[in-house]
Amino acid sequence: MKSSSALSSPGRTLASEPGRQAFLLLRTVFTVAPILFGLDKFTNLLADWTVYLAPVATAVIPLPAQTIMYGVGIVEILAGIAVAVRPRFGSMLVAVWLLGIIVNLLLLGSFFDVALRDFGLLVGALALNRLSPRIHRGQ
């Protein structure tokens, strides 16, 4: 009978386990991407992010769209750092953030393709959450 435990197979490390590899891949992507996209909110090199902001956002938060995007950038950077440091918590933060982006895009009434893509990312963030090891108090 084949054991799935890396500890019972002398030549295998935890990093060679498929679940561990999936965790590391998702953790890396959900750390790097939010940080890079968050930083880009300050430079707009990749996109003019304000076109993705529903007008209702500036009605609720009476600030210029670019100022709101600066706040969005800060949240995204913090979410990426949270995934790096506490992947179980950070992945849920990213999932909730992506849900907010999806709602914003649906309210905007366009960019449905981006909303669908972000739904796929949301599912990936939830998968990262399920793969993330539980951190026990006292460790």
Tens digit of each residue's pLDDT (9 = 90 or more) over 32-70: 999 999 999 999 999 999 999 999 999 999 999 999 999
CA–chain centroid gap for 13, Å, is 27
How confident is residue 136, by pLDDT bands cut at 50, 70 and 90?
Answer: very low
Distance spanning both ends of the chain, measured CA to CA:
33
pLDDT for 133 equals 83
Task: Map tokens 């909303």 to a residue.
Answer: 115
Across all residues in the chain, what is the average pLDDT?
Answer: 89
Please write down the long-range contacts of 18-27, taking CB distance under 8 Å and 24 or more positions apart: 19/131, 22/127, 22/131, 23/87, 23/128, 23/131, 23/132, 26/91, 26/124, 26/125, 26/127, 26/128, 26/131, 27/83, 27/84, 27/87, 27/128, 27/132
Q: How far is CA 77 from CA 12, 61, 71, 127, in A?
A: 35, 21, 10, 20
Residue 8 vs residue 76, higher pLDDT = 76
